[in-house]
Amino acid sequence: MEKGATPTAPHFTTDHLIARDGEELSLRTWKADTTRAVIVALHGMGDYSNFIAMPAADWAKHGITTLAFDQRGFGQSKHYGEWAGGDVMRDDFADALDAARTAYPNTPVYALGESMGGAVVLSALAEPNAPRPDGAILVAPAVWSRDDMPMSYRATLWLAAHTFPGWHVSGRGVVHIWPSDNIPMLRAYSRDPLVQKDTRADAVWGLANLMDEARHAPEHLTSPPPILLLYGKNDQVIPAPPTEAVVAALGSKAEVHRYENGYHMLLRDLEGPAIWRDIDNWVFAPR
């Protein structure tokens, strides 16, 4: 909580999540006619709440209301481009769950995190006073810890973050990866003004800290909710070894789906609709 902020009960307005410190975070809602379950969705690095638009519109037809907010420093939030820190991001996630339970009492509330959002959710579940969604859906979670990175990556990351923290870095012209096989979606994504095209060096350092926490979270999970973890064989953003190490560490705590044709942006891939159905079925499966 920022110094001088007045504590408040987390709640939703029509278009914002109001966090415990009064911060207003832009909110998008895809409401079902009759809500049988709620998904609170957290986006990935550089992205914003619209990431979930395609599956959320479909889920609404099946009784799932989806609520997604712009995490601090992203989308339409204040302090655009600044890294809020893992603790603050986990607090905002917990606040969103509390607000969802208030808005939809007696309705199951699930958490969904994609990439960075998945790291927020997974690391939050490992905290001593962990938030307690009715289930957690981790979509290509960002679990690429420093221990998994080459030494050259770690050295460059430290130097940039501690020498030029405000330096904006971009992979354009250097990094050649395909985050999805859905080319029309990627073209629209690249033109979206709310998607960050570059990132401050200190934010990349902060993301690395968050991924470290998520990578080692499974060993600290004591009584987690049901977990569904989804990842693609063709993910070129998060390498397979750390993801598979997290899968192994979770063991029976998670149901795992590996998609042979899947990329990092699984929910927006060409085979996305089949994955939406898998999530839909898991949400409503008897437990």
Q: What is the pLDDT of residues 190-234, one digit of tens each?
A: 999 999 988 887 888 889 999 999 999 999 998 999 999 999 999
Distance, in Å, from the CA atom of 101 to the CA atom of 194, rounded to the nearest integer, reads: 28
User: Which one, of 62, 131, 28, lies nearest residue 283 by Cα?
Assistant: 62
Q: Give residue 152's pLDDT.
A: 53
Q: How confident is the model at residue 173 (pLDDT cuts 50, 70, 90)?
A: very low
Which tokens is 173 given?
A: 């012209």
Q: Give residue 226's pLDDT.
A: 98
| Whole-number Cα distances in Å, 14 to 2, 19, 39 | 24, 14, 17
- The model's pTM: 0.90
* Residue, of 199 and 126, whose pLDDT is higher: 126
**Cβ(19)–Cβ(91) under 8 Å?**
yes
Mean pLDDT for the chain overall: 90
Q: How confident is the model at residue 174 (pLDDT cuts 50, 70, 90)?
A: very low
Distance, in Å, from the CA atom of 22 to the CA atom of 245, rounded to the nearest integer, reads: 38
Which tokens is 69 given?
A: 């907010």
The answer to whether the Cα torsion of 71, 74, 75, 80 is positive or negative is positive
Q: Give residue 145's pLDDT.
A: 76
pLDDT at 168 over 70: no
Count other C-beta atoms under 10 Å from residue 91's C-beta.
Answer: 21
Instruction: Please give, one letter per residue, the 3-state secondary structure of 246-264.
Output: HHHHHHHHEEEEEECCCCC
| Whole-number Cα distances in Å, 185 to 75, 119, 180, 269 | 18, 24, 9, 8
Instruction: Give the torsion through C-alpha atoms of 212, 218, 219, 224, to 10 deg.
Output: 140
Instruction: Give the torsion through C-alpha atoms of 131, 136, 141, 143, to 10 deg.
Output: 50
Counting residues of the chain whose pLDDT is more than 90, the rounded percentage is 79
Distance, in Å, from the CA atom of 243 to the CA atom of 226, rounded to the nearest integer, reads: 18
Integer-rounded Cα radius of gyration of the chain: 18
- Number of DSSP helices (H) and strands (E) in the chain, helices first: 8, 11
Q: How confident is the model at residue 4 (pLDDT cuts 50, 70, 90)?
A: low
**Cβ(216)–Cβ(147) under 8 Å?**
no
pLDDT at 86 over 90: yes
SS3 content of the chain, % helix, strand, coil (to 5): 40, 20, 45
Q: Give residue 3's pLDDT.
A: 52
Class of domain 11-282: alpha beta
Contacts of 131 (CB under 8 A, 6+ apart): 90, 93, 94, 97, 111, 124, 125
